[in-house]
Amino acid sequence: MDFDFSDEQKELQRSARRMLEKLCPTTRVRAVLEGEDDFDRSLWSAVAEMGFCGAAIAEEHGGLGLGYLELCVIAEELGRALAPVPFDSTVCLFAEILKLAGSHEQKAKYLPRVAQGALIGTLATSESKSAGRGAINAIVSGGKLSGVKCPVLDGSCADFAVVAAYEERDTSPTLFLVELGSPCVRRDPVETLDPSRKHARLTFEGAPAERLGTRGDGLEILSHVFDRAAVLVAFQQIGGAERALEMARDYALQRVAFGRPIGSFQAIKHMLADMFVSLMLARANACYAAWALESGSTELPTAAAAARVSATTAFQHCTTNNIQVHGGIGFTWQFDCHLFYRRSNFLALSLGSQSQWEAKLIDRMRMRNAA
Amino acid sequence: MDFDDTPAEAAFRHEARSWIEANAPHELRPWLERSAYTTLSLPGDMDSVAVQKDWQKRKYDAGWACIHWPRAYGGRGASPVERLIWEQEEGVFRKLNTLFLINLGISGPTIMECGTGAQKASLLPRCASGEDVWCQLFSEPSGGSDLAGLRTRAARAGDGWVVNGQKIWTSGAQDSDWGLLLARTDPKLPKHAGLTMFTLKMDSPGVEVRPIQTIHGASEFNEVFFTDVHIPDDQRLGAVNNGWRVALTTLMNERLFAGSTLPTGFEELLDFCAGFETENGLAIDDARVKSRLAQWAARSSGLRYAALRAISQEAKGQPPGPEHSIGKLVAGSMMQEIAMFALDLEAEAGIMADPVHAPYAARFQAMLMESPAQRILGGTDEIQRNIIAERVLGLPPDIRVDKDVPFDQIPVAGK
């Protein structure tokens, strides 16, 4: 038993951090947040050149053929830097769907381009409604997709999307690969909580759609993919949480009020200690989930849900209190606190809400205990 | 990262499991499963001290009593991971270690670290075997969180020391053969600088143990009074006036020890909610209940895996740092919240604390009354937060107006 990353994995993490500290200061995050461009293109090229997009893609498909543990430490660093690049959409979702449900031909066609950073992919499931009846209305008929998906992460810049839709008159949805450059797809940007990660509304009007996975298995595949992505996103959340905690700590050491650094007051010290506790619990859960993901353990559904719930809590806790420790200055546009606050609240919703994951966690624990 | 056993670890686990299978008091399993962490509920006619001593001695004779200790003192020099495997396999029978929490977690490690060769040889084997039971004589009415403010005085007298004063919150003092005593040997020095550690035989003349009745009725805590108690100088542990440093070793052990295994009440709550009917059906089917359960589930698994990560750190030769004081901080308040939540689900039936009439054999009522102690003993929640803030995050220490003042000039009451 060994409950830690290997020395090689830690070295990979350090090299990712060095690269991101150089290429992704918060001014770059801000540039995407305030600008029109969909993402930071030069950073994305650098991320791809380091091989990060294909870390967990097999060598036969042009990846590095490493594993999920490597991808987890990379995700943590991208999360720490708030990297404004289409990593979660392309690597955590699109590539994972292909790996899980793609045919040989589909894998051979798309994965090498993902690994090179030459293809941006995303997942389009949401139709502006919460889960449940009527959540999906998109339809594929005769290989043509019609419907509206919103919000779609990186919807304006992605080359391909995996779309959940009903095939003909089916009663359960299927996944389809759709080229978004098609003239039958309209893309409209939508304003979001975190504009450093752009979203769009996609309107499909008879767009060519290629089935991905077995007909009618869409929700089943998504459930597995979301578990995998939840682990990777948990590491992003942890990276961001740790940075927010460090910002708050550094400010508390430097800011003087009542003749003392505010970090010497127990009200502030205890707030920071509680943030640390949230972070440490989240990291422990995420490490267990990373192992479950890497080893293909049957524990993954429970472990992923626990990691997700814990990481969402920690990231929101740390970014919220980071503003509080800063006081009024933390509420200004110029200070970086809001970049982390925005990201934490966006990621808390991006794979399903906290309460949805809470329900999954308990349902899965019950199933496991009953088995 | 690998949460599975290596072949060697699996073989060790098999050996441990086989021995436990053949030797544990299996007839007590249902009783132990129902027992709270610090309060064993055994069959009425059973002598709890004798049962615990018997299990400890059986383990000792077979080399399982404190497997991470050196062989010379009754251990088997086991690795941190082997220790974890043993604890996992010992499972519910670990509750029979309650009597020896101080032996194994505090006195033993402190003697090992700071004792002379003769002290180690005479004290450690009996400490491991449970033939001697130890208690910790640290806290005082005027020195709890502010431990270095303690006033029990040890004065030179011939070839030894004479002790006068009072300790409080001493768990298990009534069953103890030995105590680890921190006393003031020089009141002219600043408070941390004038303390010395001793080992004290609890049957020494002048030692009086008085039980404290606590809010849940049990009296596992005591006051201990010393009136002209003589301690030979060869029972001093470490140098004169070096007691604070010795105590820090002890307290670090206490924290690590406490951090690894504290119960949270979550397993019980999940089990309870899966079977408890409310007016809206099974409690666990209620979305609001699920939400609360999930938050505790994630905290509870987080604690478990954080403790495992500390073991890997230790296995690589890095002693786990002060960040592991989170164990007690999280578990203590969680148990209190869980107890209150379960009682809320029970509604008016929750008023009853009678195991015959109250839901779930009144276990959450017991938890409610026990949980305040978990947030105080071994360092309060507030002290734990200070430790994390100062020693992990590097924030400034609290302003201490009495730190550099000779102890006998520190004011004793507010004006």
What is the model's pLDDT at position B258?
Answer: 40
Instruction: Give the CATH number of domain A122-215; options: 2.40.110.10, 2.60.40.1180, 1.20.1090.10, 2.60.120.590.
Output: 2.40.110.10
**In which residue are the tokens 């929700």 written?**
A219
| Closest chain B residue to the Cα of A263, Cα to Cα | B395
Question: What is the C-alpha to C-alpha distance for residues B14 and A211, in angstroms, rounded to an integer?
Answer: 49
Exposure on the CB side of residue B377, measured as CA atoms within 13 A = 19
pLDDT digits over A253-275, tens only? 999 999 999 999 999 999 999 99
Which pLDDT value is given to residue B259? 41
CATH of A7-119, one of 3.30.70.100, 1.10.540.10, 2.40.110.10, 1.20.1260.10: 1.10.540.10
Q: From CA A3, how far away is CA B233, in angstroms rounded?
A: 45
Residue A313 in tokens: 């809590």
Give the mean pLDDT of A218-222.
Answer: 96
What's the sign of the alpha-carbon dihedral A277, A281, A286, A291?
positive
Residue the block writes with tokens 């002209």: B228
pLDDT at B253: 63
Residue B45 CB-density burial (10 A; 0-12 exposed, 13-18 middle, 19+ buried)? exposed
Whether residue A284 and residue B308 make contact (CB cut-off 8 A), yes or no, is yes
Report the C-alpha gap between B320 and B312 in whole angstroms.
9
CB contact under 8 A, B1 and A5: yes
Mutate to test the interface with B, among A362, A364, A368, A369 (most CBs of B within 10 A): A362
The answer to whether the CB atoms of A270 and B382 lie below 8 A apart is yes
Place A135 in a pLDDT band, splitting at 50, 70 and 90: confident
Write down the residue that tokens 């039971």 correspond to: B133
* B137 bridge partner residues: B181
* Residue B245 CB-density burial (10 A; 0-12 exposed, 13-18 middle, 19+ buried): middle
Distant-in-sequence, close-in-space partners of A4: CB < 8 Å, separation ≥ 6:
A287, B1, B309, B312, B313, B316
Instruction: Give the whole-number percent of chain A exceeding pLDDT 90.
Output: 95
Confidence of residue A130 (pLDDT cuts 50, 70, 90): low
Residues of B in contact with A290 (CB under 8 A): 1
Report residues of chain B scoring pLDDT below 50: 257-259
Q: Is B277 exposed, middle or buried (0-12, 13-18, 19+ CB in 10 A)?
A: exposed
Alpha helices (H) in B214-349, listed in sequence order: 243-261, 266-275, 287-315, 326-346
pTM of this prediction? 0.94
Residue with structure tokens 């006036």? B241
Name every chain A residue with its beta carbon within 8 A of the beta carbon of B5. Answer: 1
Please indicate if any CB of chain A lies within 8 Å of the CB of B145: no
Does the domain at A219-370 match CATH 1.20.140.10? Answer given as: yes
Percent of chain A with pLDDT over 70: 99
Residue B23: how many other CB atoms lie within 10 Å: 15
Q: What is the pLDDT of residue A131?
A: 57
What pLDDT score was predicted for residue A350?
93
The pLDDT value recorded for residue B142 is 82
What digits encode the pLDDT tens for the residues A139-182?
999 999 999 999 999 999 999 999 999 999 999 999 999 999 99
Domain map of chain A by residue range? 7-119, 122-215, 219-370
B1, B315, B398 member nearest A291 (Cβ): B1
In a mutagenesis test of the A interface, which of B301, B323, B334, B381 is the best target, namely the one with the most A β-carbons within 10 Å? B301
B254 in catalytic set: yes
| Burial of residue A12, with CB atoms counted within 10 A of its CB: 0-12 exposed, 13-18 middle, 19 or more buried | buried
User: Tokens 């680890």 sit at which residue?
Assistant: B180
Contact across the interface for A3 and B1, Cβ inside 8 Å: yes
Q: Of the residues B220, B254, B314, B337, which is catalytic?
A: B254
Does the beta-carbon distance from A1 to B6 stay under 8 Å? Answer: yes
In angstroms, the CA B275 to CA A361 distance is 18
Q: Same CATH fold, A122-215 and A7-119?
A: no
Q: What is the pLDDT of residue B255?
A: 53
Q: How crowded is residue B394: how many other Cβ atoms within 10 Å of its Cβ?
A: 11
Contact B249, B256 (CB under 8 A): no
**Cross-chain Cβ contact A266/B270 below 8 Å:** no
Average pLDDT over residues A337-345: 98
pLDDT of residue B42: 86
B398 at A interface, C-beta within 8 A: yes
Can you list the domains of chain B with their CATH numbers? Answer: 7-132 (1.10.540.10), 135-241 (2.40.110.10), 262-379 (1.20.140.10)
At how many degrees (to 10) do helices A337-350 and A218-254 cross? Answer: 160
Residue contacts between A and B (CB atoms, under 8 Å): 167
CB count within 10 Å of CB A93 equals 29
Mean pLDDT of chain A: 96
- CB-based contact (8 Å) between B206 and chain A? no
Bridging pattern class, strands B207-211 and B160-168: unpaired
Residue A195: cis peptide before it, omega within 30 degrees of 0: no
Provide the pLDDT for residue A187: 97
